């Protein structure tokens, strides 16, 4: 199970653990493009598709125009009276933004030279709960609250320097929006040197690549036994015990009431992008 560190409140602790489980499941279900493939698509970027649909003044208060999209990366200057006050980008050009619907959630983000988010606009989504239940305006309003997010602080904390607000019924949608704004924002800030941030150093150790002709066992028992498939199994007692270690006592005061031996999750995960594993 991914470690769930103590959090300042029971609510944040629960959300942190849930977020880790959602991340594991999402990675198991959806293929994610390698970062270099995403960057290679700058010429046909998501930003180029949607920049004409968003007014600069709606994204950043006082802005009156966008400049041309750069040739080397999918960002565009945010202008006020001809002067650049920040950079605009769409998170989907930099990170995976697949939502509950299985389709990307596109958010346009603006960030200034100090690596502080100036504004966020929800541009395009296909989330079913938003299309038929929760008003889109509520999701869009929450996205706008990321204005003021300090990406330098996020870089120092590993992306946990801010509070995560959730809208009931749209947990996965909000988690994807939150994750994509922070991770894409950090990539852009580092690439542009905003706020003193610099690109991460390229790894110097061994690099591993998928061997497309690699073989794998064809039966479930062998795949599970040799580590090709990994299992996460938790019961209610283990989950309740984990929350009892959180500093905030409210977590322990709200245990799951099912019997301790009740299964909380029983999940197998494998790297199905390896052809032999996916076909097994």
- Per the listing, tokens 């990366």 go with 73
Distances (CA, A) of 59 to 45, 135, 159, 184: 19, 20, 23, 17
Using 70 as the pLDDT threshold, list the residues of the chain that sit under it.
1-43
pTM: 0.68
The answer to whether 76 touches 87, Cβ cutoff 8 Å, is yes
pLDDT of residue 247: 79
pLDDT of residue 55: 98
Torsion of CA 186, 188, 190, 195, to 10 degrees: -80
- Dmax of the chain from CA atoms? 66
pLDDT of residue 60: 98
């Amino acid at each position: 199970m991914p470690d769930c560190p103590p959090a300042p409140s029971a609510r944040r602790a629960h959300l942190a653990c849930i977020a880790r489980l959602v991340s594991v499941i999402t990675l198991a279900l959806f293929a994610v493009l390698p970062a270099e493939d995403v960057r290679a698509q700058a010429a046909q970027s998501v930003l180029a598709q949607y920049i004409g649909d968003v007014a600069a003044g709606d994204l950043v208060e006082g802005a009156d125009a966008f400049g041309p999209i750069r040739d080397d990366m999918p960002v565009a200057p945010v202008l006020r009276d001809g002067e650049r006050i920040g950079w605009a980008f769409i998170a989907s050009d930099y990170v995976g933004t697949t939502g509950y619907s299985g389709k990307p959630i596109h958010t346009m983000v603006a960030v200034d030279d100090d690596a502080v988010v100036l504004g966020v606009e929800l541009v395009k989504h296909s989330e079913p709960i938003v299309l038929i239940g929760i008003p889109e305006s509520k999701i869009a309003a929450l996205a706008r609250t990321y204005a003021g997010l300090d990406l330098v602080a996020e870089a120092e904390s590993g992306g946990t320097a801010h509070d995560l607000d959730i809208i009931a019924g749209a947990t996965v949608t909000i988690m994807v929006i939150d994750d994509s704004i922070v991770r894409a924002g950090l990539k852009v800030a580092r690439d542009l040197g905003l706020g003193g941030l610099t690109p991460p150093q390229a790894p110097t150790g061994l690099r591993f690549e998928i061997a497309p002709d690699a073989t794998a066992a064809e039966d479930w028992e062998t795949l599970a036994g040799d580590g090709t498939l990994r299992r996460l199994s938790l019961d209610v007692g283990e989950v309740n015990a984990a929350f009892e270690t959180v500093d905030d006592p409210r977590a322990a005061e709200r245990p799951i009431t099912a019997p301790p031996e009740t299964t909380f999750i029983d999940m197998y995960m494998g790297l199905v992008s390896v052809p032999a594993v996916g076909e097994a």
